[in-house]
Amino acid sequence: MTMAKEELVRLLGRSDHAINYDQARDLLDHPDQEVRVTLARRDDLEPEILYFLARDPDTDVRRAVAVNPNTPQKAQVVLAEDSAGEVRTDLADRLGKLLPDLSEDEKDKAWRATHQALTLLARDQLPMVRRVLSETLKKLPAAPRDVILTLANDEDTDVAGPILQFSPVLTDDDLLSVIASSPLSASLSAISKRHGVSHAVSDAVVHTGDTVAVATLLSNDSAQIREETLDAIISEAPGHVSWHEPLVHRPELDAHAALRIAEFVADSLIQELANRDDFASDTIDRLRDVVRNKLKQDQSTDGVESDGIETDLQDEDLLALAQQQVDTLVEQGLLTTALILNAMDEENTHFVIVATAQLADIPVYAVKSVANSHSAKAMQALSWKAGFSADEAVHMQLGFGRVPPDDIISPAQDGAFSSSSSEMTWQIELFMEEANKA
């Protein structure tokens, strides 16, 4: 005589009480969803019972089946096509964790269905499913290659990123193929973070010209970068402030590269170069000479008043020299707001004036007039016109416009400029008129 269903339900949650096939089958259509969920969580069920539960009308029951380690392979395919994203997400998480624990015999038996389920999940329309699968497969040498390649080429960088950064399944040819497909910057940066990036892959990353990816590559001490490639990076580095610090700390720099870097980085970074213990003494002496020479140059240009920008002949000569530098950077496509902010930090005022005028497409004297006004609104408007972000505009107000800290105009809550574009345009036009009168 079979146990009464009520008594069976009472004992269902007890792990010390076994449930046989007939008892489990009697509970498959129990009207209480919680009973079926409890049943689906048990680890002593026959595979056929779990297969039936994989088609249960209740999502929570199917989720319980998805995470049950005893769920049969044919049920995985059913769950991979489940209508509920939560079920597919749970399955993606479990399958990734399941692969390393499969014996060779189990892999042979289960591989076709498991592989089919993984393929479906890797192409799932719900990004969260693919993201979870990516996280669980990213470090597994046994992960199926075709699934890894699908994830690596995913348009969602939160899916592709972990695979591109960590997967041991990917070869250099795979990575080069991804790079050649013009991926987003985040994907290039993920590749640049890989341990032991090869020369070929480094060359390809640098060839893309992606500023963030190159900075990431330079920061990766395990990345292999050819001497010729590093020389090319150094040639373009003056226009990319984000490259300066990782260049200074790049391992195995030769003396020639170090001295080239010292020509354009901030004084503090030159000092860090000089403090490295992997250079010969004569190289260190030459780096320290660069620091001393820069200090002398700074002292010789201290004639710029703190409350105004002089317009004498010497000032005009320095502006002309700065204009030549700016023209060269514009021709090379290297003039950026970050470069201007770096020059501002180094108190290279003449370069800041000319470069800002170039980006804002207004006369130099209008820029000088704005700076001499010490007006937060005027400096905010100038920064906006030159293409600075609202956060960068704060630095321009403080460092270039010498606006009192209490008067600084901060960005809006969403990070945008606080003033309207029409108001900032009016500010620019006002100073343009003054420049024309001059």
State the pLDDT confidence band at 308, using cuts at 50, 70 and 90.
very low
Q: What residue has token string 């901060």?
A: 410
The CA distance from 91 to 126, in Å, is: 13
- Local confidence band at 404 (pLDDT 50, 70, 90 cut-offs): confident
Which residue in 218, 222, 212 sits closest to 187, CA to CA?
A: 212
Instruction: List CB contacts of 337: < 8 A, sequence separation 6 or more.
Output: 359, 386, 387, 388, 389, 392
Give the 3-state secondary structure of residue 216. Answer: helix
DSSP state of 249: T
**Separation CA 178–CA 301 (nearest Å):** 49
Q: Which carries the bigger pLDDT value, residue 47 or residue 299?
A: 47
Q: Percent of the chain scored above 70 by pLDDT? A: 88
Give the pLDDT confidence score for residue 358 in this predicted structure.
94
DSSP conformation letters of 75-131: HHHHHHT-S-HHHHHHHHHHHHHHGGG--HHHHHHHHHHHHHHHHHHHT-SSHHHHH
> Residue 353: which residues within 8 A CB-CB, separation 6 or more?
309, 319, 322, 364, 367, 368, 371
Lowest mean pLDDT among 134-148, 197-211, 309-323, 391-405: 309-323
Residue of higher predicted confidence among 108 and 130 = 130
Q: How confident is the model at residue 32 (pLDDT cuts 50, 70, 90)?
A: very high
Average pLDDT over residues 243-251: 92
Instruction: Write the pLDDT tens digit of every residue in 112-166.
Output: 788 899 999 999 999 999 999 999 999 999 899 999 999 999 999 999 999 999 9
User: How far is it, in rounded angstroms, from Cα 414 to Cα 427?
Assistant: 23
> Does the structure show a pLDDT above 60 at 301?
no
pLDDT value of residue 276? 83
